[in-house]
Structure 1
């Protein structure tokens, strides 16, 4: 009686099935989400999850290739003829190529897509940058070509899978040495342990982790180099008589995204205020807000805000607001106009607020509503407000001390 066939290592078996199941799930999940109408509930989440799993497959493939190099697989059964062995090697080579090409083309499409021009945040936690130096591909034609290649690779994967399964079943149920038991120990017969002890787990998975850290680490480095921590100052030609307490003051925004409420805040801003409660119409208020450091309730939103179609912070690092036409309406309530200039676009919005003054201390709270379309926000990827609400609410709370 011949000795049992040698099986694959436990790590190789685990990586094989995890990656295989992930790729199949990605293919069918990709078809499903592509058929959804724009703005369908959960569609945005599905796109982000698709990208997250795709990058995970790429990282696991790095680990699998290194593991395979350090732990050669069992030899093919001796009863396989030369043509079958060649076909087996070619199919496996094709699979490794696909495990790299599928996520890479998906990453490239995400980087150059006009329709889905949103950042990638892996599982809502880790920022993943776009492919560098591909701005020239950000056209309808080029991004469409990349998407075509990415989608057709899914069919190539299914074709290779059919060949792979057919070959495995042929060897399992014909009068030959089966191969399924090597990847499914105990289900299709006995197998022996790998001929040599496994090695290289730290190297394989450490390399995958290293790729993650290096690539994902590019985003915060670029943020630091952009000067996002520089404090802004509201320069005004008029004499100021109130000083804002930044620790007790805030500018927050809110809206709806993919059917769910979101919120955020500008952490870096300054206001110049000249206000006399006895002559509110003579008041002068100027606010300067840094768009670079805006923080939202989810990391995905925070990463999206500096992008060209939103705040375009690289070209327009600040926004400016003037509070005009202040008039008292009684009982510590006032009406006014908030004139916002963002990306060289100026729009007005009603800004009613309440103001209580106690000695040299003042507390103000107010709210304005701005429309995205008027400010050219998100008009490339979501001009019809299918995902992000047209109205964005801005709530302002200010605590100030009279300075003279």
Structure 2
């Protein structure tokens, strides 16, 4: 028997009082859904049809991309990175479209099933649809958890558009390393298992639709825009569905945009900060120590000229003892410039005094031997900069360090005794050009700020390469890794002011930067160019 025609459109929105549909008159055509044969379906609404096929296509692409990036392409290759970003983009889109689909279904329930669909089949179909919606939400969420807690922090940029960033889930950043690892394992396994379940459910859904199509010949037409059936159904909730989905998507993407930069990222001044105070205070101490040492040498020479070895040794020891209190923080040779420890300087002073005494006893000290003195230089923070650039996703990223400290002892006429020691506060890094999350730069696969907040460069040799041009060769320590590094720089000295400009190119993998996220260099350039501009005053 055909269904009795309704004079009002049955939908949840009308029953909930959210909408008051227009009452149909006797002359209005009433969309009916006969359940007996021949089955003439009243098709789904246009919104439901568009969302259904869009989500279906995205799910198939999701399953294919997930399988390809795990089984078909080389790990760490540029192709795997591209598939990974595409997979995340598709997952985020599925999540948003599922919100829209559920909202739309609330206002627009599906049409009635044909007579050929039994009660048990209706129950199974209803259960399958509920599981579908559950998986369409849980699978993207588990993937979202994985990329949030993973030690490899890679930006999620939807469809490779920098203006469409996708953030990490909030509330997980404070977890310990062990907790993050455990959560990543659980979420990753769940994500993979549910993905296989989704594939099986898609096949079951297709099989059911084909079975009913064979029974009635019209079943699949309900989900076709080209088939009108008994007439298209009037739809409700357009504005609510679009607005709710747009607000959720804009809120998520907008929060990612704010999170990409730290509040102080636009500060342009380089400020070594309080690190400057200690070198400035130590300069006076170093000068006092150098003066005392020179006075001691002169006194020693005078005593030797009198050919009185024993009194000379005693005088030298006394002069050395007077100089020791000034030894803290002094930088008079290469060793103390690299490791400015007061105890080490004092020990060096004692060794020098002992050696002088032995030389005096042996009568080997020459009164003409000059005392080495290398001037120290204090960096002007506001006129100095330390920056670096690298390639990322076919664009250039520029960044700078807001805080660093340099201890410089330099004399162009005494390069053997000249030294440079630089300490960089890695947490002060800020992006000045380009688009990349600061968390990715600071993270464990980046600079590793949380575990090792400082990087240091200590020169071992400085040599001249041309007029006003020099090369400093030394060791760069980053993330507990020490490797040789070379700085090329030019220097101009005008009275008591020195201006230096320099650069170096570092291979990031040498310090395990980006080794997990991009070991092949497909997305992050293997080379990082570091530049510095320093203005300093003679102490």
Aligned equivalent of 1:169? 210
* Structure 2 spans left out of the alignment, 5+ residues: 3-30, 33-39, 284-375
Aligned to 1:81: 118
CA distance in 2, matches of 1:353, 1:218: 38
Per the alignment, residue 193 of structure 1 pairs with 232
Partner residue of 2:48? 12
Report what 1:180 is aligned to.
Answer: 220
Structure 1 segment 195-274 matched on structure 2, within 5 A: 195-199=234-238, 200-209=240-249, 212-213=252-253, 216=256, 219-220=259-260, 223-224=262-263, 231-233=271-273, 234-235=275-276, 236=279, 237-238=282-283, 240-241=377-378, 243=380, 246=383, 249-254=385-390, 264-272=398-406, 273=408
Bigger Rg, which one = 2
Which of these residues, 82, 97, 100, is aligned with residue 63 of structure 1?
A: 100
Where is the strand percentage greater, Structure 1 or Structure 2?
1
Match of 2:466 in 1: 330
Pick the aligned partner of 2:153 from 108, 114, 118: 118
RMSD: 4.0
Gaps of 5+ in 1: none
Q: 1:70 to 1:190 in 2, by over 3 A?
A: closer
Change (3 A) 1:397 1:142: closer
Equivalenced residues, count: 392
> 1:349-388 alignment to 2 at 5 Å?
349-356=485-492, 362-369=499-506, 372-373=509-510, 375-378=511-514, 381=516, 385-387=519-521
Deviations 1:286-308 (A, max 9, x none): 43434233439764575422112
Q: Which stretch has the larger CA shift, 31-40 or 261-270? A: 261-270
TM-score by length of 1: 0.79
Question: 2 CA distance for matches of 1:225 and 1:11?
Answer: 45
Evaluate the alpha carbon distance shift between residue 399 and residue 202 of structure 1 in structure 2; reply closer, same or farther with a 3 A threshold: same
Partner residue of 1:34 out of 57, 70, 73: 70
Q: 1:286 to 1:146 in 2, by over 3 A?
A: same
Cα 1:150–1:333, aligned 2, differ >3 Å: closer, same or farther? same
User: Cα distance, 1:79 vs. partner?
Assistant: 5.0
Mapped contact 1:121–1:127 kept (Cα < 8 A): yes
Preserved contact between residue 209 and residue 219 of structure 2 (Cα < 8 Å): yes
RCO greater where, 1 or 2, for CA within 8 Å and sep 6 or more? 1
How big is the shift at 1:227? 12
1:310-321 to 2 correspondences below 5 Å: 310-321=446-457
What secondary structure is seen at the aligned counterpart in 2 of 1:352?
strand
2: CA distance between counterparts of 1:73 and 1:218? 40
Asked if 1 retains the 8 angstrom alpha-carbon contact of 2:504 and 2:529, the reply is yes
Give the drift of 1:24. 0.4
- Give the structure-2-normalised TM-score: 0.61
